Chain A
């Protein structure tokens, strides 16, 4: 990933003239066809990356290894609402016509279960060795949205930005390559525009958002075309692009991308008023809405497992049957479990009410105290995947108002 100010140029295989008008962000823009997209995925594998991107499995868009571009969710879209997710057939053959699935980059960067230390019984007691977290290959992510780029940055800053950088996340995220995609068809659960993380995958993100893609695609589809405007935003991106067939972007291409962006912004109906929200939420621990939402919440942990920034984990020393070897293992955890807050004799967050309070205030309020930024990127996953259809925006908004107005 590059810092701003680097000079990025793509040497076009064909002649390149003044017709190409690079956008003001300083990155160079080209147009990539469907064959070019396929070639991009192949080129990333050739360069030694493990390419991970969206594919259809179990009636959902999941993240998995993408051997070829044929595995992309071609012609699939999704339909999302509180407590509702369905794949739908699109009328076009869009490769990125869905929004976000239940998974996010954090499953790759900090897997659900990861061995940290091997502890072996010895005559002296024990010997302990760190498990080498270096992956066989660096990851290339395909198709990450603006909200996911933001989430990846937030999650990184928790895991490797503090005094004790996590070796797992450091190693797995090192030298990654990211192909971002502008969102063209946001869902009813999306509120990235409120959180300043989307719907585009980079350039318009807020000043605090340091995470960038190496290549940023905008899928352009109409009766006459199906290709991608591609902003080349890093040296690694430029190096890959040089090996692919592409043409310089012209004004019409940029206008088409602007139209996609404009439509996406128009689509987003959900709005969270973030002005003063952090303080307002922490100021109302006795608000009756907490009781009310606790009656609907099942403490199922879904929201925390689909959230792209949630980082809670537990540590288990898992022994073998012989009692000779223990593997210190990190496993995703959730603040909706009683074990999460267990303290000699009972849980601190013993009720669903206090668990929900912990979750919501952490995302929108105390994350600022702990890490200096929001813990929510507005992707809407928690709302979509809540079996009770609890809507984060609706709850946060209700809690921001005086109780009597809710009645």
Chain B
């Protein structure tokens, strides 16, 4: 990298190459990308961190890391909801993708040592939690209960379905899935994901929770978990706001006193609980 490149390095996208594209739902894909030949790899992301991804000529969006593949390939799960994400969604294996990062403070996995774990995901919120589950399976602790509660608005919007099936088979982990509204083919549970909390069989005061999903879902999930007996400081949430730079310059990701790109996106519940009660903050 020349001196000139290093001057503005924080906003320069690094060329990665998509090596695999897997469709999750009708509007969601998981892209696996690796540094292109001759390009220095970015720092390895920690679970809960995110990258700024861009397709040439369109624009950038923050996307959580949804997994790290065997050959160092980084996985990102993208839901096509706007121009930038539609352009990313349209990428195929072999295409270049611009990557900056990784950014932010990820999940504090250290705090989970010796504790039971609840992973609670709503919709695409499962994406940043996937590395947590992979970590828990790889670093399995005997006598630890891991409970994964997954909710989706509709059954056809469930992502990572093959992972869910595989995780159900892993020792020490139980997976429960519910959908808000089901089609005729759905034989599982129906209802919001917070309903699953009361059926948990974990040692509540000795349990940590990792939660990601729509803000309203996280608010009610945290309340339900506390009612169930979890300590508020043992609940971690991943927050979201608009984001343009990811380096604390653009001001878009303010959440009251917090800059999500710098201070988050993962926060302990006590940091967010009052903020989440303020409308339109």
Contact = CB atoms under 8 A, between A and B. Distances in A.
A309 to B, nearest CB: 11
Nearest to B2: A129
Nearest to B4: A132
Interface string B1-38: 00011111111111101000000000000000000100
Contacts of B9: 130
B93 to A, nearest CB: 13
Interface in A364-400: 365-366, 368-370
Given A117-B11, A164-B10, A313 B250 contact: yes
A285 B281 contact: yes
A330 B58 CA distance: 15
A131 B278 CA distance: 41
A221 interface: no
Interface stretch (A43-51, A82-90, A256-264, A314-322): A314-322
A282 B95 contact: no
Given A132-B4, A335-B251, A348 B98 contact: no
A121 B244 contact: no
Interface in A271-298: 282, 285
Nearest to A161: B248
A130 B241 contact: no
A362 B258 CA distance: 10
A325 to B, nearest CB: 9
A125 B249 contact: no
A351 interface: yes
B56 interface: yes
A323 B4 CA distance: 24
B172 to A, nearest CB: 34
B191 interface: no
A351 B279 CA distance: 10
Contacts of A368: 257
Contacts of B97: 125
Contacts of B281: 285, 348, 354, 357-358
B57 A121 contact: yes
A130 B8 contact: yes
A340 interface: yes
B145 interface: no
A24 to B, nearest CB: 39
Given A128-B98, A167-B8, A354-B281, A361 B256 contact: yes
B36 A124 contact: yes
Nearest to B38: A124
B60 A315 contact: yes
Contact of A311 (B6, B8, B251, B262): B251
Interface in B49-103: 54, 56-60, 79, 81-82, 95-98
Given A348-B242, A351-B280, A369-B257, A314 B250 contact: yes
Nearest to B17: A125
Contact of B242 (A121, A159, A166, A341): A341
Contacts of A362: 254
Pick the most buried of A132, A315, A326, A341: most chain B CB atoms within 10 A of its CB: A315
A163 interface: yes
Pick the most buried of B56, B82, B95, B97: most chain A CB atoms within 10 A of its CB: B56
A345 interface: yes
Contacts of A354: 279-281
Contact of B15 (A126, A163, A344, A358): A126
Contacts of A168: 8
Contact of A119 (B13, B248, B252): B13
Nearest to A368: B257
Contacts of A133: 7-8
Nearest to A159: B249
A402 interface: no
Contacts of B95: 125
A117 B4 CA distance: 11
A126 B12 contact: no
Nearest to B253: A341
Nearest to A120: B56
A353 B59 CA distance: 30
A348 B7 CA distance: 34
Interface of A: 116-117, 119, 121, 124-133, 158-159, 162-164, 166-168, 171, 282, 285, 311-317, 319, 323, 326, 328, 330, 333, 335, 339-345, 348-351, 353-354, 357-358, 361-362, 365-366, 368-370
14 contacts: A117-B11, A117-B13, A119-B57, A164-B10, A164-B249, A167-B8, A171-B7, A339-B242, A343-B241, A344-B81, A348-B241, A348-B242, A358-B281, A369-B258
Closest 10 CB pairs of A and B: A125-B96, A369-B257, A130-B8, A312-B251, A354-B280, A164-B247, A164-B10, A167-B8, A366-B257, A344-B81
Interface of B: 4-15, 17, 36, 54, 56-60, 79, 81-82, 95-98, 240-242, 244-245, 247-252, 254, 256-259, 262, 278-281
